[in-house]
Amino acid sequence: MSTDTIAAIATALSNSGISIIRISGKDSLDIISRIFKTKSKLEPNKIVYGKIYKDDDILDTVLVSYFKAPKSYTGEDICEINCHGGNEITREILELVLENGARLATPGEFSKRAFINGKMDLAQSEAVINLINAKTKTESRVASKQLEGNLSNKIKELREELIELLAHIEVSVDYPEYDYDEVDPENVKVLLNKKIEEINNILSTYEQGRILKEGINVAILGKPNVGKSSLLNKLADYDKAIVTDIPGTTRDIVEETINIGDVVLNISDTAGIRETEDIVEKIGVEKTLKKLEEVDLVIYLFNAEEGMDEKDFDVLSKIQNKGIKLVVVINKMDKVEKSIFDTFLSKLEYIDHVIPMSIINNEGISELKKTILKIFNKNDLDFEHELIITNIRHKDLLKKSVELLEQAKNAIELSEPIDIISIHVKNATKSLGEIIGADVSIDVVNKIFEKFCLGK
Ligand SMILES: Nc1nc2c(ncn2[C@@H]2O[C@H](COP(=O)(O)OP(=O)(O)OP(=O)(O)O)[C@@H](O)[C@H]2O)c(=O)[nH]1
Ligand SMILES: [Mg+2]
């Protein structure tokens, strides 16, 4: 682990009120003293006014703060220069800092140092990225709770209980001659069951957590010309996709991210599904069907004027067999008698959500939005207070630890020697430890911090 002094611009590079250049490492104060002149004294946790000099030239009038190790974000000496927020001046000051002995930080290097110096654990560091990348208020609340340590504390608690159990097992294996409480396999089983249940409870929040973090992947499907692209444009509130009355207009998948309330939808408008000899359109149709592999929800559109045929039912059953959530929309209701909708309903009895719509008259859109929210909020998680996991790494490790605890339980049921049980419990403890960064390889650490932005 390098301990040289690093620097980077911590704010986004665009014209703004201020920019911040962050310096961390043992030479921070030295570097500042060479380029910054002030009438005040630079003391820890204070911000002072002064000027940045390059030789005899004043580059900018700035505020500089100083955080003394170990009481700083990275656990090292940190100085931060608040300069005026022009691209040019910010870059010039950074260059000056580098000329005076700092090295340009790699993405996430400040946070990596914070982790290595024990200021944050790994789960909290990951929460920092989530907080920065959050696209909704709920998502940022969940990240902020993880940063505060709600996941880390729970993991620590689980690990401590398992470590205590291990200690107990090991004492009775290593020193059987002592009159130590015999390890009762039944009691161990009860405890393992309890831990498995607790971990499974956390795991059950992942689906909602993932949707919160990554959004719901939605595909709009249907025959050519039913109004798929029109629906995408309506939801996006601008003309993202080309709309014409020629069937086969959309060839390639068109993607757009929109928010409804506090939920993010990653919508794909697709090529209308039909048999076609047109090679480009054919590829488009294949892509549409392939898209089904990665979606959470399909909005399937019908043209109210046309009815439905085998091909439609075929695709609908494909969607349902894959366990993908489904909303059927009967579009162009402005062109037909209202009663036509009932004909559709009677043929689609087995589908939970069927909505009449006229995109050009703006009818049915808000019902569609409400339906989507209802489908994905049915777990009624309390995002503000509950522990919710949003990260696939955490999910995989929790799953692995449940599997290992199950193996320990099986070993008990098969009356295997107690030290076999202890190996499974030890491995489960290790998996849990990886979540917070105990027992974790440097490769994993590097991978996580590479995803950070520069200056964080
Ligand atoms: N009357 C009526 N026309 C509509 C409605 N929605 C869309 N249209 C029209 O239907 C035609 C086809 O719309 P698109 O949105 O391009 O249809 P699509 O499903 O994307 O078609 P492809 O890309 O060819 O598969 C256009 O002329 C739209 O203006 C509606 O609610 N009522
Ligand atoms: Mg289209």
Q: pLDDT tens for residues 93-107?
A: 999 999 999 999 999
Per-residue confidence at 182, pLDDT binned at 50, 70, 90?
A: low
* Dihedral sign for Cα atoms in the order 167, 172, 178, 184: positive
**Over the stretch 352-367, which tens digit does the pLDDT of each residue have?**
999 999 999 999 999 9
Ligand 1: residue of 223, 229, 230 to mutate (most ligand atoms within 8 A of CB) is 230
3-state secondary structure 1-20: CCCCCEEEECCCCCCEEEEE
Which residues partner with 52 through β-bridges?
36, 60
Amino acid at 285: V
Per-residue confidence at 307, pLDDT binned at 50, 70, 90?
A: confident
Any idea what DSSP says for residue 437? Answer: T
Give the largest CA-CA distance in the chain: 89
Compute the mean pLDDT over every residue in the chain, rounded to the nearest whole number: 91
Per-residue confidence at 109, pLDDT binned at 50, 70, 90?
A: very high
**Over the stretch 243-265, which tens digit does the pLDDT of each residue have?**
999 998 998 889 999 998 878 99
Q: What is the mean pLDDT of residues 377-398?
A: 82
**Domains, the chain, ranges and CATH?**
6-106 (3.30.1360.120), 124-205+388-437 (1.20.120.430), 211-376 (3.40.50.300)
**Over the stretch 275-300, which tens digit does the pLDDT of each residue have?**
888 888 788 788 888 888 889 999 99
Ligand 1 contacts (CB < 6 A) are: 222, 224-230, 243-245, 247-250, 271-272, 331-332, 334-335, 358-360
Q: Percent of the chain beyond pLDDT 90?
A: 71
Instruction: Give the residue, by CA position, lying nearest to ligand 1 atom 30.
Output: 332
Higher pLDDT, 102 or 440: 102
Q: What is the CA radius of gyration of the chain?
A: 29
Nearest residue to 123 (alpha-carbon basis) of 111, 109, 140, 141: 111
